[in-house]
Amino acid sequence: MAVENVKRIDPSRIEVPLDYKPGMKVRGVIYVDEVLEQDLEPQSIDQVANVAMLPGIVQSSLAMPDIHTGYGFAIGGVAAFDVREGIISPGGVGYDINCGVRLLKSNLTKGDVAPVIKDLVAALQTNIPSGVGSKGRIRLDAGNEKKLLIKGARWAVEQGFGHAEDLERTESGGCLDGADPSLISAKAYERGRAQQGTLGSGNHFLEIQFVDEVYDESAANALGLFEHQITVMIHTGSRGFGHQVCTDFLEVMEKAVSRYKIELPDRELACAPFGSPEAENYLAAMQAAANYAWANRQCIMHWVREVFGSIFRMSPAQLGMQLVYDVAHNIAKIEEHVVNGRKTKLIVHRKGATRAFPPGHPELPDIYKPLGQPVLIPGDMGRASFVLLGTEKAMKETFGSTCHGAGRVLSRHQAIRKAKGRAIWREMEDRGIIVRSAGRETLAEEMSEAYKDVSHVVDVVHNAGISRKVARLRPMGVVKG
């Protein structure tokens, strides 16, 4: 049922008007077509409106078509705040700081991998720890843990986990400057010490895929993608470390709200004025957690290469296992955007949203400047994932942002109830997809019916012009936490 008090702007967008709730400073805009609008949760629309009340917000409070209710901000939410009078809010980043996606390409084809897919999935599950509380192969002492938090993926490469060229193909070079390890609590250090190089649980995964369809052959060629090619997608974040950083600073922000007399429509939007000690400390701690996540994905990718090399008895170079790109989708970053005709420095919150910068943007590596930023959108384990490119329209409308995935339609408890009595792994195998998981409940939580159809979500952002489709990837083998 369509939600009242919102109006359709065009086939891809609806507006949450200024009079939707008293106190809104800007309008809300949700990227959703008429079909996906039927599944919109009233709570998530309220969250878009609540964010529009925060101090210093500019242009619009945004949400992508994978929107669903989250903590504070809706998941799929994007909001930018002027650094002179705005705020920073942990609820606009989320608990899993720098949860993100990286994609490897290879010289292998579907025909090469199909005969050994079960061996590959088993080897990946054995070599890359996953699941709740999983512990990795890396044991960090205090000195190395702090170096990792400052250097991010650079630390991993220095330890022999990958190559310098990997960093060029990672958002922000796999490292945010400004991280301050002294701001991290003992509990966060304790949680992070044994989890570096682990996949985690929930919607995190490692997936062997093949290129099923190419929409833009020229762009696909530039990215090194071709039909029937084997790719590997890694989706994980900062694990318990980032979760603890968020938990710690939510307490700090709740006190800051009183100290700075900030009026909030929802206490989950606890925040502090940008430039205040509380905001600066959260930003530096969040940057440390983001760096932890980039190092995590870098280490996992190194072991993926090793597993493929072992199965095929070839080196990763011979297999052509090269990183296409790595993107974050739970992060806040200081960026310059044009607001009311003027270049303005903003703190852009992307919570369940992916950066989608256009060709020529100064933050892109030289190899992708003519093309635009690669955008990686994972779907559920039974359907598909997508590679897209950022656009100039995204810079104008969404602060260079797009969707981050399919978006849930069932809660985890609802999915478990719906899967009762079913063998999800067998259903997947009957469809030609080999799935392994640390627990049966994870497969129930993550079954396809729990998610929107990612193809539909991606069509919305493509049709809206805020990212453009390059290729579709189909799963062959999946490791879940």
**Catalytic hit among 68, 404, 456, 462:** 404
DSSP string for 151-211: HTHHHHHHTTSS-HHHHHTBGGGG--TT--GGGS-HHHHHHHHTTTT---STT-EEEEEEE
| Average pLDDT of the segment spanning 247-252 | 98
At residue 203, the pLDDT reads: 83
At residue 246, the pLDDT reads: 98
Counting Cα atoms < 13 Å in the Cβ hemisphere of 404 gives 32
Q: Identify the band that residue 3 occupies on the pLDDT scale cut at 50, 70 and 90.
A: low
∠ CA 11-398-288, nearest 5°, is 140
Q: Which of the pair, 478 or 450, is modelled with greater confidence? A: 478
Angstrom distance (rounded) from CA 463 to CA 393? 11
163 is catalytic: no
CB 346 within 8 A of CB 337: yes
At residue 14, the pLDDT reads: 98
Q: Count the Cβ atoms, other than its own, within 10 Å of residue 218.
A: 10
List pLDDT tens digits, range 174-183.
999 999 999 9
Q: Count the Cβ atoms, other than its own, within 10 Å of residue 437.
A: 23
Angstrom distance (rounded) from CA 474 to CA 418? 24
Angstrom distance (rounded) from CA 119 to CA 113? 10
The Cα diameter of the chain in Å comes to 64
Average pLDDT, rounded, for the chain: 94
Q: Count the Cβ atoms, other than its own, within 10 Å of residue 132.
A: 13
Q: How many helices (H) and strands (E) are present in the chain, helices listed first?
A: 17, 19
At residue 397, the pLDDT reads: 98
Amino acid at the residue 75? I
Q: Is 219 a residue whose pLDDT tops 50?
A: yes
Q: Is 217 a residue whose pLDDT tops 70?
A: yes
At residue 312, the pLDDT reads: 98
Q: Count the Cβ atoms, other than its own, within 10 Å of residue 341.
A: 6
73 CB-near residues (< 8 Å, 6+ apart): 47, 51, 79, 89, 91, 92, 94, 269, 349, 351
| Average pLDDT of the segment spanning 229-234 | 98
| Average pLDDT of the segment spanning 370-390 | 96
At residue 2, the pLDDT reads: 43
Q: What distance lies between CA 4 and its chain's CA centroid? A: 30
- Taking phi over 0 as left and psi of -120 to 50 as alpha, with beta for the rest, 295 belongs to alpha
Nearest to 451 by CA among 172, 75, 167, 127: 75
What share of the chain has pLDDT > 90, as a percent?
83
CB 65 within 8 A of CB 33: yes
8 CB-near residues (< 8 Å, 6+ apart): 14, 15, 34
Q: What is the pTM of this model?
A: 0.96
DSSP strand pairing (205-214 vs 374-377): unpaired
At residue 278, the pLDDT reads: 98
22 CB-near residues (< 8 Å, 6+ apart): none
At residue 194, the pLDDT reads: 87
Amino acid at the residue 299? C
List pLDDT tens digits, range 275-304.
999 999 999 999 999 999 999 999 999 999
**Lowest mean pLDDT: which of 183-187, 207-211, 358-362, 418-422?**
418-422
What share of the chain has pLDDT > 70, as a percent?
98
Q: Which of the pair, 167 or 200, is modelled with greater confidence? A: 167
List the structure tokens of 148.
């990792």
At residue 135, the pLDDT reads: 63
| Average pLDDT of the segment spanning 259-265 | 97
List pLDDT tens digits, range 103-158.
999 999 999 999 999 999 999 999 997 655 666 678 788 888 999 999 999 999 99
List pLDDT tens digits, range 22-80.
999 999 999 999 999 998 999 999 999 999 999 999 999 999 999 999 999 999 999 99
List the structure tokens of 442.
């994870």
Q: Which of the pair, 441 or 376, is modelled with greater confidence? A: 376
At residue 391, the pLDDT reads: 98
CA distances from 152 to 170, 172, 173 (A): 11, 10, 9
Which stretch of DSSP H or E encloses residue 388? strand 385-390
CB 286 within 8 A of CB 332: yes
CA distances from 399 to 89, 157, 180, 354, 466 (A): 17, 31, 27, 11, 10
Q: Count the Cβ atoms, other than its own, within 10 Å of residue 279.
A: 24
Domains and CATH numbers, the chain: 7-480 (3.90.1860.10)
Rg (the chain; Cα; Å): 21
CB 355 within 8 A of CB 405: no
At residue 37, the pLDDT reads: 94
At residue 443, the pLDDT reads: 85
